[in-house]
Chains A and B, each alone.
Chain A
Amino acid sequence: MKNGLWVQLSFILFLTLITGIIFNLSNTNRIPFIGEERKTDFSSSDSLLEVLRIQDSLQKIADSLSKISQHRLDSVKQAQETRIKDSLEAIRKADSVRKVQDLLIQSTQKPEDTVRADNTVKQEFVKPVDIRLNFAKALFDKGYTFIDSRDVVDYNAGHIKGALNIPYKEISSYKSRLESMDKNIVYVIYCSKACDVSIDMAYYMAKMGFKKVYIFHGGWDEWMEAGYPSD
């Protein structure tokens, strides 16, 4: 009987092993037997912060240069205005010729070419970037959109000032809202420090076609500890 129990246990485990392998190999939703590590890479965070700082200082230089050259511009302006009027007239003439040319090209283009052109417009996956607190704060100061991926209860208990709440656990009901959002602007996704929903959310958005998604790994806990603006 003792042997019987172990045989039964072994048989159940063997059956599990065989079925699992066969089913996974034949399944359309199959996954690799050995998982891949999702590494957190903060290397971009520091360099992007540096770029942001350089951008700020360049903006300041540009502002001061524009003030200096303002009075020079005034004198040049009058001369330019007359030249612009002449140029506009020439452009108008050229435009009308180009429109006629475009119409001719469109009428001769084959329908297959149009289909092929549509197929080339595929949603490009841009990997979300892992960022630290200092870069998240810099983005906050620039006024970029923050998305809190925690539950409504956690969000209501406290969140980064102005952050939107899109709970990842209810992502299916927020899909239309995400679809309506601009996919080419920066979004910073966060949750708490001990959670992965921000990562899941960021990759979900990246798959939807969002191109500038940042994952703030420190999340609400780090933000709160730093005493940064919150609601």
Chain B
Amino acid sequence: MRAIFTNKYFCTVVRIFLGAVFVYASMDKISNPGAFAGIIKNYHILPFQLVNLLAIFLPWLEFYTGLFLIIQKWVRASLLIYSGLMVIFVVALSQALIRGLDISCGCFSVQSAESSRIWLRIAEDILLLFLSINLFRFSDDLKNVKNIIQNI
């Protein structure tokens, strides 16, 4: 694993891929905050007061995280946010699957016709989480990261 994730070419490809996914995913949500708020509401995990706030800010957080990964700026901070968001997405989708909610994922589009195969989305998110965590773990500043974690 270390050999793969310390290969700079592989890391570059993965970093740009992760960034592109987030930038692409944010586009439709940024232009249609109302529809995205409806999707978030259907998950039934947030109080109604927070739904619109999340619908307004989450797409921008995705956009900037993705953008910074692509342009290789503040990569580790972006990867940290990326991994955190992926954990949240996996938890949200899993609870929807367990509760049998008939909802649109809202992962890449706010269109109601988007695939509702939640388990497939969970698998995608787990793969992205795996990549982002490993990219973070095996980044050049590994020693510094360990120091940070020890100091927290």
Q: Chain A: residues with CB nearer than 8 A to chain B?
A: 1-2, 5, 8-9, 11-13, 15-17, 19-21, 23-24, 27, 29-38, 150-151, 154, 168-172, 191-192, 194-197, 200
Contacts and interface: CB of A to CB of B under 8 A. Distances in A.
Interface of B: 30-34, 37-38, 41-42, 48-53, 55-57, 60-61, 64-65, 68, 74, 76-78, 80-81, 99-104, 112-114, 116, 141, 144, 147-148, 151
Contact of A35 (B49, B57, B80): B49
B33 A27 contact: yes
B53 A16 contact: no
B147 A2 contact: yes
Contact of A194 (B48, B99, B112, B116): B99
B61 A13 contact: yes
Given A36-B48, A192-B102, A12 B53 contact: no
A172 B80 CA distance: 38
B102 A20 contact: no
B112 A169 contact: yes
Contacts of B65: 12
A208 B57 CA distance: 30
Contacts of B53: 33-35
Contacts of B41: 35, 38, 196
A151 B112 CA distance: 11
The majority secondary structure among interface residues of chain A is helix
Given A23-B60, A35-B48, A5 B33 contact: no
Contact of B102 (A27, A31, A194): A194
A42 B57 CA distance: 34
Contacts of A170: 112-113
A27 B34 CA distance: 11
